[in-house]
Structure 1
Amino acid sequence: MKKATHPIFQKCSSAAARQQGLSLIELMVALALGVLITFGLIGLFTTTSRTNRVQEALARLQENGRFATMRLTDEFRSSMGQFCNATSGQSTKSSNGVVSPARAPMVWSKFQPDEQFADAPGATLIPSEPLGWRDPDGPYPLSPRYFLQGYDCTTGCTPNLPASVDLPNKVPGTDVLTVRSLSGTGWRGVCSLVDGAPQWTIEEHPDGGDSKINFENGDFAYVTDCNSPTIMKMTFDGGTVLKADPAALLDGTPSCPANGGPGTDTRVFNATKDLRTVTYFLATKPDPSPDSPGGSVISSLYRRVNGGAPVELVEGVERLDFLYGVQDLNGAVRYLTAAEVEANSGPTTCSPPPADLTDAAKKWLYEPGCLWRSVKSIEAHMLVNTVKNQFDLADVDKAYRYSVGDPYFALEPTAPTDPMPVTNLPAGSKLRREFIATISVRATSL
């Protein structure tokens, strides 16, 4: 007997049969929604990724700029520093005479071309001959101007870089600065005259606070008691006694600074090893990134000590310019380029020299570049980039300001292979920012 089916169940079965798939309209609506959502997710990911890359690049740029500023500040604050000796030449004249005159160490020994105070092997910073108006075989004062020297570089450099100073791959149009200062604490010494030549008995601090004695036979000593600094070539037998080398002495009768008497803080430094000559400059190296345009390079800040191999400090520094705050004869301070310091040096601008640079006939000796001994501060300008290229940057992102000379607002070239102004380095596609540091030269009297 066939079982009867209720009419309601027959209708439901027919409706289910008609709903076996999606209609074409429903399918197209679903696909359209899926495409919209997918494109939205891709756009969100792309925007977020680009923002992250830009933020990471900016963070690296800021970190590099701050670190470069910190290194320059630490170095330049101690430039021209000599123990307990005013070296900067920042003295002024008044109706009562010279206010706070600087002092200069007296050089009592001859320098050979390959001996210390050199920018590089074979280059002598200190003149081997005394200043022209003195006895050519007599002792002479070491002008403070030799402790700081800048170079204003465009197509070349003014003043000219010494021929023996090799700055490999230097970035065109960027400045160079060399500073000198004594490092360490020196050793306490007692002076006595033996056969007409001074000798010093030095000692290390009993609690190990001083460095170990590092003299070798033939090194130069820088001796000062805060009043009468002296530079002499020494003989040394490995003990604690330094003797002035009689074969190298210039004519005259050298004496002990203040006789090394009680109450004086006589210190002996190894001028051959402890007088640091530090040069800052920019140089390039190949860009190892595989996505960089052909011929792309990275410009970095380098530091070279005592003519040694340059050491890279910070990547991405592509412009470097220095301005010098010099105090003139009347106490006024102006900011000048290195070329302007050289051009404006003379009797009407330079501050009074140390007493030992005074001649009765000429009153003051204004050595070439005498304004360098009157530098009170250094203003460093650096243009720092993100090192890595960011190829999806808009033109407005690549705009930057660099304010040396006539301030201008520059828009970076749109093509990565276009040259940058002044340096002619390939522009790439990078963010750029200017960093400025004004650094006081505080080693007037250490």
Structure 2
Amino acid sequence: MAGVSLVELMIAMVIGLVVMLAVIQVFAASRSAYQLSEGLARVQENSRFAMDSLQRELRMAGHFGCVNDQAHGLQTPASLNSTLATTHPALDFSRSIQGYEATDTGPGKTLTLPATPATGGTAYSPALPTQYAAALTNRVNGSDIVALRYLMPEGVPVSLIAGTPAKPIFNFEASRLAVLQSGVSEPGLFGVADCLSATVFQASAVDNGGSVTFDTAPNNTSVFSSLYTTGQASLYRAESVVFYVGYDATSKQAQLYRVRFTAKPGGGLAAQAPEALVEGVENMQLLYGQDRQLDATAPTGFIDRQGTALDVEASLTDKAQAWRRVGAVQLGLLVSSPDPAAAKRTTGDAAALTSLGVTYTAPNDGRMRSVYQTTIALRNRLYGN
């Protein structure tokens, strides 16, 4: 019988090992290419979603019906009214947009990102209100924060106004209650507006049959001072929300978060639990563009001032007026992949990451990172609106 000699067996094993090494190398290269493409795809997907979400929200700044807050502020007396106590920053609707600049993160600064983000320790300019600090406990150090307050884009026409001028009851078509709620199950903060004035208030009661009653409530400190007419006024839910970058202990990664401040009808103001919107957002930088004209006269429509939140605060003694003249926002996001997508780099092999003048030193953890920037025109602040 014919057999295989030891020499022939050894030669066959060597050839097999060479083939296996080649297959393993091909597999490793394919796996690395897949991880790179997957990491890049996740970074692009998350950044696109984060940008779209923030753009939609920022563009709503100044929306108070058919006349924006900037135009309301030009009236004598001002026609943007509120019955709410302004002791809580979330209820100060005279400032539709307000930013908080993380200390030492302005243009020209360098920011080192730790492998595990540090939280709760950064100082802000202007100072972060204690109410916000208590609600944003997982905020990542070195990232800017922005607060927005406005009336939701969709409202319902007021079909009948009962009660008294000081304490009105607004009736609307009951089938449109879901439009008025706009995603909040028990809203209590509302705004009523026509093309002459707008009033933000807390409802004492909301009837599913189609009515919102204004009366004594924990957050109301005054009564209505403006009159509204059936057929001309619309009712909206009032939104007060804060966007920031926070750390998620479960995924062990920074994410874009939202905290909404709401009050049920007749109830106290409360911060909802932080909502994680987009994973992998490690840092957010914001710059604000102001109109050339800052005083009480009409704006020019030219946005030729640009700076941080601290610069906006320093531009006028009247802080609310300074923020009303913000007509554009520059947004920069640093986004990383959820999982490591490449081998750790060697010293000096890192690509520079810069967002709105801030240079990042990223940790060497193999994650894909990229910076995305955009400029957002606040459409409710456009001259002539």
**TM norm structure 2:** 0.73
The 1:210–1:443 alpha-carbon spacing in structure 2 relative to 1, beyond 3 Å, is farther
Aligned ranges 1:285-300 → 2 under 5 Å: 285-286=248-249, 297-300=252-255
List runs of 5+ in structure 1 lacking aligned partners.
Answer: 1-16, 92-97, 114-122, 128-141, 289-296, 347-366, 413-419, 421-425
CA-CA distance at 1:187 after TM superposition = 3.4
> CA separation in 1, counterparts of 2:85 and 2:6?
100
CA-CA distance at 1:243 after TM superposition = 6.7
> CA separation in 2, counterparts of 1:172 and 1:152?
11
The aligned counterpart of 1:256 is 227
Aligned length: 340
State the identity %: 25
> CA separation in 1, counterparts of 2:85 and 2:46?
40
The aligned counterpart of 1:438 is 375
Which residue type is aligned with residue 111 of structure 1? A
CA-CA distance at 1:229 after TM superposition = 2.3
CA-CA distance at 1:370 after TM superposition = 2.5
The aligned counterpart of 1:181 is 150
* Larger Rg over CA atoms: 1
1:161 aligns with 2:136: no
Which residue type is aligned with residue 430 of structure 1? R
> CA separation in 1, counterparts of 2:337 and 2:200?
47
> CA separation in 1, counterparts of 2:306 and 2:327?
10
Which residue type is aligned with residue 285 of structure 1? D
> CA separation in 2, counterparts of 1:435 and 1:64?
11
CA-CA distance at 1:340 after TM superposition = 1.2
CA-CA distance at 1:237 after TM superposition = 8.8
The aligned counterpart of 1:374 is 325
The aligned counterpart of 1:308 is 272
The residue matched to 1:322 in structure 2 has which SS? Answer: strand
CA-CA distance at 1:151 after TM superposition = 0.5
Alignment partner of 1:203 out of 156, 165, 172: 172
Which residue type is aligned with residue 188 of structure 1? V
The aligned counterpart of 1:283 is 246
CA-CA distance at 1:369 after TM superposition = 4.8
The 1:180–1:340 alpha-carbon spacing in structure 2 relative to 1, beyond 3 Å, is same
Alignment partner of 2:99 out of 124, 145, 150: 150
Aligned ranges 1:331-370 → 2 under 5 Å: 331-346=302-317, 367-370=318-321
Q: Deviations over 1:225-255 (max 9, x none)?
A: 211223466666957676764997859x945
Give the aligned CA root-mean-square deviation in angstroms.
4.0
The aligned counterpart of 1:327 is 291
The 1:213–1:316 alpha-carbon spacing in structure 2 relative to 1, beyond 3 Å, is closer
> CA separation in 2, counterparts of 1:430 and 1:203?
52
1:170 aligns with 2:134: no
> CA separation in 1, counterparts of 2:28 and 2:211?
72
List runs of 5+ in structure 2 lacking aligned partners.
Answer: 104-121, 182-187, 262-270, 294-299
Question: Are 2:38 and 2:341, in contact at CA under 8 Å, matched by a contact in 1?
Answer: no
> CA separation in 1, counterparts of 2:189 and 2:33?
58
Alignment partner of 1:389 out of 337, 340, 355: 340
The 1:382–1:246 alpha-carbon spacing in structure 2 relative to 1, beyond 3 Å, is closer
The aligned counterpart of 1:58 is 40
CA-CA distance at 1:179 after TM superposition = 0.8
Question: Are 1:181 and 1:276, in contact at CA under 8 Å, matched by a contact in 2?
Answer: yes
The residue matched to 1:399 in structure 2 has which SS? Answer: coil
> CA separation in 1, counterparts of 2:257 and 2:63?
22
Q: Deviations over 1:81-114 (max 9, x none)?
A: 11112213699xxxxxx8x99964134x46385x
Question: Are 2:180 and 2:235, in contact at CA under 8 Å, matched by a contact in 1?
Answer: no
Which residue type is aligned with residue 185 of structure 1? G
The aligned counterpart of 1:224 is 193
The 1:235–1:176 alpha-carbon spacing in structure 2 relative to 1, beyond 3 Å, is closer
The 1:101–1:37 alpha-carbon spacing in structure 2 relative to 1, beyond 3 Å, is farther
Which residue type is aligned with residue 253 of structure 2? I
CA-CA distance at 1:152 after TM superposition = 0.3
Question: Are 1:90 and 1:375, in contact at CA under 8 Å, matched by a contact in 2?
Answer: no
Which residue type is aligned with residue 225 of structure 1? D
**TM norm structure 1:** 0.64
> CA separation in 2, counterparts of 1:237 and 1:51?
57
Which residue type is aligned with residue 379 of structure 1? Q
The 1:287–1:431 alpha-carbon spacing in structure 2 relative to 1, beyond 3 Å, is farther
